[in-house]
Amino acid sequence: MFAAYKRNLQPKKRMARNYPGMPAAVRDRANANDDNDNDNDDQIQYARVWSLYQTHLQHLVSVYDERDLPTLINEYSVDGALEHLAQLVDARQGTLVKHATTPVHYQGFVNTGNTCYLDSTLFALFLFHSPFDWLLLKPILRPEVKELQTTLRFITNQLRLGALITPIVINKLRMDLYHAGWIHQSIPGSAATTTQEDASEFFLFLLNVLEAPYLSMMQHVVYDGCASITDENDQKSFRERILSLAIPLSANENPKVLTVEDLLYSYFFDNKITVLRERDTQGCTRMTVEAWQASHIIPIEGGNSNLIIPMLLKRYDVYGRRIGKSTGNVNGTSAVAGHQHSLPRIDSVMPRRMDYTLVLRAAVCHHGDSLASGHYIAFTTLNGEEWLLFDDMRTPRVVKFCDLKSITAAFEHMSTSAYLLLYEMLSDTEDEALPKQQQVQMVDDMTTAQNLQSQEFERVATMGPRIPSHKDAKNCVIM
């Protein structure tokens, strides 16, 4: 579309200096040093930006005023401003880029002051095509939320095309968050007062305001050796936004590495409760008994649609302070068998049991002693074979890890600092769509990386975590 705009807007002869309706700020910039022939070309270029703005005024006027055009030109250059406006029009018309058609030089976000929690969360959520894309396309009724959705769609397109998300766009996002009800966002115009916030709270805010579906859960209460005890509440359904996985305090002193699978088992099954129940079917005898409470995820029923299962590693207390003196190693397993944690589903097309695998797609990590301080970074992957590290305080901001050594270092880092994990629940039919050889190779690579990671933990248990560096990626492409 951008190429079409450029063809349509390219004048055949010199444009008049006083272009009808041209704002004074653009006209003055265009007419500066008018005696120089080169500046006539500048006038034409600036007028092209203004002309594109006028052509799509109904889409752009709510985002930029005419007086903002010189700022856009200064920030992006003339061609960059044209492309920026054209892509903004596309986003406002509902276009969402699934993936780039050519290799992309990912750049991420510019940190505009305590925005790492925003930048890292959005990078993890939307860099690659995922089930979350539906949130950017679904009908929205509230005007302020619809505007936020449009801005998120534009940012997603920019990320996937390799554009740098500049302060202009980030400030627009922060304005939209404020109007949509993000209580931690400063009042528009007071950007300098922005504070560090909890990435998980921001994530949950997006899910709520965009009306994402909940995770449907089924809960069972089991009595050991008491078959005669029954209650109508022994089985019930409930909903969750996120799985909050508690890390045992002993993990801070115990060098043994926990896995996400261990935490999931505790979350779903290791819940001892005390309840008041009837002893017989007559309802005459009630007694206090101990029981086990177990839960399962209810898979989505819509064809091959997959779920994103968000998991929060509870490294911090209710006041946002890190629990314990150490970080507690939790191996961010790349793939977890999901049949233990989800109810079986019978496919309506092919009546057979369907099992699931939870595949790690992204992680948001936090460094610091409290959620109100420190720094957030993100890891994400498209296919499990290559991982991207995003850190808006480093140069370059995005680094690709594609060999076994660097991926192992990335997982090692995630084990000590991962805070928010995003797993995708894939049915076995999705796995069968892959060539068998590719499935085996992916499993072998992941297993090898995790084995090396565990060995590294045992060797440097007392030395603290190591952040993946550019040296780890020396055999890979620096994004």
b/e per residue 302-321 (b: at least 16 CB within 10 A)? eeeebbbbbbbbebbeeebe
CA distance 209 to 342: 27
Closest-CA residue to 181 (of 132, 223, 142, 125):
142
Closest-CA residue to 68 (of 107, 29, 12):
29
| DSSP collapsed to 3 states, 156-180 | HHHHHHCCCECHHHHHHHHHHHHHH
335, containing H or E segment: strand 335-337
Q: What is the pLDDT of residues 223-249, one digit of tens each?
A: 765 555 556 667 788 899 999 998 877
pLDDT value of position 430: 46
pLDDT value of position 19: 43
pLDDT value of position 425: 86
Q: Let me know: does 201 contact 219? Beta carbons within 8 Å.
A: no
For the entire predicted model, the pTM comes to: 0.77
Please identify every stretch of the chain with a pLDDT value under 50, giving residue numbers as ranges.
1-21, 33-35, 190-192, 302-304, 325-326, 346-352, 430-450, 452-453, 456-457, 459-465, 474-479
Which residues are bridge partners to 290 per DSSP? 274
Strand extents, DSSP E, 71-138: none
**Angle between the 143-161 and 116-126 helix axes, to the nearest 10 degrees?**
70
pLDDT value of position 169: 92
CA distance 406 to 385: 11
pLDDT value of position 12: 36
pLDDT value of position 291: 75
Q: Let me know: does 295 contact 411? Beta carbons within 8 Å.
A: no
CA distance 67 to 476: 44
